[in-house]
């Protein structure tokens, strides 16, 4: 018989167990305690802090103005606000400082320094940044094109008026040494069949030359880029065999150039001998070698402005004034305007300081009769005399691209720039240098690189990536299907595969032998040019010995015969015999149409996308289910929170990987890699257009491109210079005339 419990004594039916299972009891208590602590630590509050204050402590607009809260609550309040959507306009986090504060000279200066830390600014940067679209290129921040609509206006300025460009991003390299040594060493970097550094034309220092610089003994395979150079003129009374040459290098291939020069002259860096000039620019710019040559890199020590157009001389004569040199005997070393005895080192050493405008104005205000022409007090003695160097450049026959380059010492860019602008010169950017080179069909400039140079390859890779990224940003139904158009490389020129298809070898280089080019020109369009005529008289036209040049690309330009303008990456194709016959019979015919290609990947892509979407849906469902489960068993899983987070991270990363893999797969299906270029469409592909547009000077679409030599020989056999050009986004071929650029 059991002993009766208390409740039963009273006639009720409740009974307690005789024993307590400690483990169960403790564990359930533990759960309760942990739930309690967690709810205390992470309170599920629906109210903000200031809303929970007693009424007598509440103030208006408390949430906006922290100072209305009691001080001990401010921190917590800020933390709460930062989490919420209003957190963006909290004063402490992101508010812009007042304009007045930002415009204080010291703050402005520090801001400018901060922005310059990873790239270089030109001296006219701020002027440009207000008016131009700026881009990061070659370690500089360079003006690309003006923000106003002025493409045609700038072309007009370059032909009829004056176009002004700041090209201070070019680096000047000064090499001093024995004349013979300089000549022989530099000659190894040139095409010796043409003009070299040592040409008689340039050696007296009256002209600036431009030529293609190669790797040492690298002609013709390894070009680096076009460089401008000029020699220091001989002084009449001094006879020495030590000469100085200044080479101006474009930043696109500056590093390649410098490495080549250092290795071929065996230069060593020399930091002990520090010139006064070196304090201005970088310290590591003096190099010497055992034979007594020295090289100084005048990086950012000189400014170079380019003035193009027929009114250039007017602008210069109005903007600059020649000081009377006889009065200033001690200035004879500092040369002014057009004086040939000048030295760039002196230019860079020049320390004349610019007089502030207010002082000039004060001096001028003392005049009784106002006017710039009547300057009594602001006379020549007070004015700064700045040595500058003018370099004349000839252009094409019509004067396009002709003009003068002005070299100015450092820190003087802005006064000169403004003075030129005041004389109605138009300012241009990078786009203008390219368009001038394009309009004048001048391949001999540093602005345009040939496809066999490393600078071109770097540039091409960057543009390819940019364009591909842009392409895949479009939704699938707005993406052009280039496979259907039969375009294998819509965003780059596939030179290697092209050459492989034509000659069986992947390597290629651009043919720069003048005689062979003239011969080819005579073959493709007989006796048009006088130079060709004279050459044709001397040499028998003989194309059989061109086997050595199988791997050459030929630089050509293309004139559209009717409508249309070729664009970048357009393909140049060879017409068939039927096409040629049609051209002869029907003059209004504007070219064949490519058949619509069949895209074998289209179905695969669709299936892949469908499966991918299903997979994504499934994963999403899984995620939702897991979240629900988490909510339900919150307490149970609380202890294992670390493990849980880890799991979550793994899952998220795996999902991301699925998505990125899908992108790669799809992109490969959209732009499949293909080695067959030559027979990729109906007509045989000869080459690509690298630069093409509507030309204002020719009043029709023209293009500059490269074709393979073997295809050109086939054209010569067909006795026609008419080719077909097709842009990447169309199936219409257009007729064009082919000419060889010499």
Partner 1 sequence: MAEIDGSSGLNKTVSEQKGAYRKKLSLNEHALRKRQAFKFATSNRDIYVNNKTPFKGQLYKCEKLLDKGASELIIHGLGAAVCKAVNLALRLKDIHHNTLDLDVKTSTVTLVDDLEALNDEVDDEINSRQNSSIHIRVIRRVPVAVLRSK
- Which C-beta is closer to partner 1: that of 535 or that of 637? 535
> Considering only 151-159, 192-200, 653-661, 705-713, which stretch makes contact with partner 1 by CB under 8 A?
192-200
**Of residues 162 and 211, the one with the C-beta less far from partner 1:** 211
Rule CB under 8 A: say whether 194 interacts with partner 1.
yes
Least distance from partner 1 to the Cβ atom of residue 395, Å: 10
CA 620/CA 216 separation, integer angstroms: 61
Site string for partner 1, 488-517 (x = CB under 8 A): --------------------------xx--
**CA–CA separation, 293 vs 264, rounded Å?**
12
Q: How far apart are CA 330 and CA 332, in angstroms?
A: 6
Distance of CA 726 to the CA centre of its chain: 27
Provide CB contacts within 8 A for 169, sequence distance 6+. 120, 122, 138, 140, 142, 250, 251
Closer residue to partner 1, CB minimum distance, 441 or 677 = 441
Does 542 engage in binding with partner 1 (CB under 8 A)? no
- Which residue lies nearer to partner 1 by CB, 200 or 588? 200
Q: Give the shortest CB-200-to-partner 1 separation in angstroms.
A: 5
What DSSP string describes 77-122?
Answer: HHHHHHHSGGGGG-TTTTPPPPHHHHTSHHHHHHHHHHHHTTSEE-
Q: What are phi and psi of 339, to 5 degrees?
A: -80, 135
| Minimum distance, C-beta of residue 394 to partner 1, in the bound complex (Å) | 8
Q: Which is nearer to partner 1, 399 or 454 (CB)?
A: 399
CA separation for the pair 247, 361 (Å, rounded): 40
Quick one: which of 101, 264, 620, 210 has its CA closest to 444? 210
Give 516 or 707: the residue with its C-beta nearer to partner 1. 516
DSSP 597: P
Considering only residues 196, 264, 314, 423, which one is a binding residue for partner 1 as defined by CB under 8 A?
Answer: 196
201 binds partner 1 (CB under 8 A): yes
Cα dihedral 282/283/289/291 (nearest 10): 90
Per-residue contact string for residues 350-389; x = within reach of partner 1 by CB under 8 A: ----------------------------------------
Is 195 or 258 the residue whose CB approaches partner 1 more closely? 195
535 binds partner 1 (CB under 8 A): yes
195 binds partner 1 (CB under 8 A): yes
Among 477, 538, 598, 641, binds partner 1 (CB under 8 A): 538
Task: Give CA torsion, residues 305, 311, 314, 318, to 10 deg.
Answer: -60
DSSP 52: G
Number of residues in contact with partner 1, rule: CB under 8 A? Answer: 18
Minimum distance, C-beta of residue 698 to partner 1, in the bound complex (Å): 11
| Among 711, 697, 223, residue whose Cα is nearest residue 452 | 223
Q: Which listed residue (47, 114, 530, 587) binds partner 1 by CB under 8 A?
A: 530
Nearer Cβ to partner 1 (190/712): 190
Closest CA to 446 of 594, 698, 256: 256
Q: How many CA atoms lie within 13 A of 412 on its CB side?
A: 26
Say which residues have a Cβ less than 8 Å from residue 678's Cβ, sequence separation at least 6.
498, 501, 502, 684, 685
Cβ closer to partner 1: 511 or 713?
A: 511
Identify whether the C-beta of residue 197 lies closer than 8 Å to the C-beta of residue 187: yes
Question: Can you tell me the distance from the alpha carbon of 350 to that of 411, in angstroms, rounded to the nearest whole number?
Answer: 10
Q: Nearest approach, Cβ of 343 to partner 1 (angstroms)? A: 24
By CB under 8 A, the residues from 399 to 418 that bind partner 1 are: 399
Verify binding: residue 324, partner 1, rule CB under 8 A. Answer: no
Distance of alpha carbon 347 from alpha carbon 307, whole angstroms: 20
| Residue 587 binds partner 1 (CB under 8 A) | no
- Contact predicate 607/714, CB 8 Å: no
The yes or no reply on residue 103 touching partner 1 (CB under 8 A) is: no
Nearer to partner 1, 190 or 574 (CB): 190
Kindly state the smallest distance separating residue 537's Cβ from partner 1, in Å: 7
Find tokens 């002014």 and name the residue: 336
Q: How far is the CB of 519 from partner 1 (least distance, A)?
A: 12
Q: How far is the CB of 400 from partner 1 (least distance, A)?
A: 11
**723 within 8 A of 562, measured Cβ to Cβ:** no
What 3 state SS string does 391-426 have? EEECCCCCCCCCEEEEEEECCCHHHHHHHHHHCCCE
Tell me whether residue 181 or residue 319 sits nearer to partner 1 (CB atom): 181
Least Cβ distance, residue 530 to partner 1 (angstroms): 5
Measured distance CA(83)–CA(92) in Å, rounded: 13
Q: Which of 112, 331, 534, 694 binds partner 1 (CB under 8 A)?
A: 534
Least spacing, CB of residue 609 vs partner 1, in Å? 56
Taking the complex as a whole, the smallest distance from the CB of residue 203 to partner 1 amounts, in Å, to 9
Nearer to partner 1, 400 or 722 (CB): 400
The pair of structure tokens assigned to 728 is: 């990447």
Is the Cβ of residue 205 or residue 687 nearer to partner 1 in the bound state? 205
Nearer to partner 1, 245 or 707 (CB): 245
537 touches partner 1 by CB under 8 A: yes
By the rule CB under 8 A, 200 interacts with partner 1: yes
Token digits of residue 239 = 């006879």
Q: Which two tokens stand for residue 257?
A: 């150039």
Q: Does 156 bind partner 1 (CB under 8 A)?
A: no
* CB-CB neighbours of 260 under 10 Å: 20
Interface residues with partner 1 (CB under 8 A)?
Answer: 194-196, 198-201, 397-399, 514-515, 530-531, 534-535, 537-538
């Amino acid at each position: 018989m059991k002993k009766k419990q208390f409740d039963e004594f009273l006639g009720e039916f409740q009974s307690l167990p005789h024993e307590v299972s400690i483990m169960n009891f403790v564990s359930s208590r533990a759960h309760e305690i942990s739930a309690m602590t967690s709810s205390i630590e992470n309170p599920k509050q629906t109210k903000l802090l200031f809303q929970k204050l007693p009424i007598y402590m509440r103030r208006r607009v408390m949430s906006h103005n922290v100072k209305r809260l009691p001080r001990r609550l401010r921190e917590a309040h800020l933390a709460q606000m930062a989490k919420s959507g209003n957190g963006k306009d909290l004063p402490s986090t992101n508010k812009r400082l007042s304009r007045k504060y930002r415009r204080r000279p010291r703050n402005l200066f520090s801001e400018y320094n901060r922005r310059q830390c990873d790239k270089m600014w030109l001296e006219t940067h701020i002027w440009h940044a207000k008016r131009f679209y700026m881009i990061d290129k070659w370690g500089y921040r360079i003006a690309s094109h003006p923000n106003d609509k002025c493409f045609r206006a700038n072309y007009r300025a370059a032909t009829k008026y004056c176009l002004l460009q700041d090209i201070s991003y070019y680096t000047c390299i000064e090499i001093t040494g024995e004349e013979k040594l300089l000549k022989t060493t530099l000659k190894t970097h040139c095409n010796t069949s043409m003009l070299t550094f040592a040409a008689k034309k340039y050696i007296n220092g009256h002209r600036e030359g431009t030529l293609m610089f190669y790797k040492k003994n690298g002609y013709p395979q390894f070009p680096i880029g076009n460089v401008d150079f000029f020699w220091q003129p001989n002084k009449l009374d001094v006879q020495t065999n030590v000469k100085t040459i200044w080479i101006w290098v474009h930043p696109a291939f500056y590093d390649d150039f410098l490495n080549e020069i250092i290795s071929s002259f065996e230069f060593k860096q020399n930091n002990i001998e520090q010139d006064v000039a070196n304090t201005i620019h970088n310290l590591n710019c003096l190099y010497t070698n055992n034979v007594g040559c020295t090289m100084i890199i005048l990086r950012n020590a000189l400014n170079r402005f380019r003035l193009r157009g027929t009114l250039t001389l007017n602008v210069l004569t109005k903007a600059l004034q020649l000081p009377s040199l006889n009065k200033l005997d001690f200035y004879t070393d500092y040369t002014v305007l057009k004086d040939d005895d000048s030295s760039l080192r002196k230019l860079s050493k020049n320390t004349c300081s610019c007089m502030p405008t207010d002082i000039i104005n004060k001096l001028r205000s003392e005049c009784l009769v106002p006017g710039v022409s009547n300057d009594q007090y602001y006379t020549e003695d007070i004015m700064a005399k700045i040595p500058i160097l003018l370099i004349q450049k000839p252009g094409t026959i019509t004067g396009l691209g002709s003009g003068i380059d002005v070299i100015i010492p450092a820190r003087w860019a802005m006064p000169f720039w403004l003075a030129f602008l005041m004389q109605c010169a138009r300012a241009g950017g990078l786009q203008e240098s390219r368009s001038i080179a394009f309009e004048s069909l001048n391949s001999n400039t540093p602005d345009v690189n040939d496809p066999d140079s490393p600078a071109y390859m770097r540039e091409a890779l960057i543009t390819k990536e940019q364009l591909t990224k842009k392409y895949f940003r479009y939704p699938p139904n707005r993406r052009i299907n280039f496979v259907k158009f039969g375009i294998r490389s819509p965003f780059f020129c596939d030179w290697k595969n092209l050459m492989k298809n034509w000659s069986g070898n992947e390597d290629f280089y651009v043919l720069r032998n003048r005689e062979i080019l003239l011969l080819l020109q005579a073959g493709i369009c007989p006796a048009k040019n006088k130079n060709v005529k004279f050459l044709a008289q001397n040499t028998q036209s003989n194309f059989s010995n061109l086997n050595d040049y199988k791997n050459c690309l030929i630089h050509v330009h293309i004139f559209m015969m009717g409508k249309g303008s070729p664009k970048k990456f357009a393909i140049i194709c060879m017409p068939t015999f039927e096409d040629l016959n049609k051209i002869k019979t029907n003059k209004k015919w504007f070219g064949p149409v490519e058949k619509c290609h069949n895209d074998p990947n289209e179905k695969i892509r669709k299936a892949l996308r469908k499966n991918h979407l299903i997979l994504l849906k499934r994963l999403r469902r899984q995620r939702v289910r897991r979240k629900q489960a988490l909510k339900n068993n919150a307490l149970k899983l609380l202890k294992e929170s670390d493990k849980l987070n880890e799991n979550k991270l793994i899952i998220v990363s795996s999902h991301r990987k699925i998505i990125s893999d899908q992108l790669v797969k799809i992109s490969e299906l959209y732009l499949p890699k293909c080695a067959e270029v030559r027979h990729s469409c109906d007509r045989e592909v000869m080459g690509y257009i690298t630069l093409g547009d509507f030309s204002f000077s020719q009043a029709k679409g023209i293009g500059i491109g490269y074709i393979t030599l073997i295809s050109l020989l086939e054209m010569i056999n067909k006795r026609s210079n008419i080719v077909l050009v097709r842009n990447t986004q169309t199936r219409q071929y257009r007729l064009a005339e082919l000419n060889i650029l010499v």
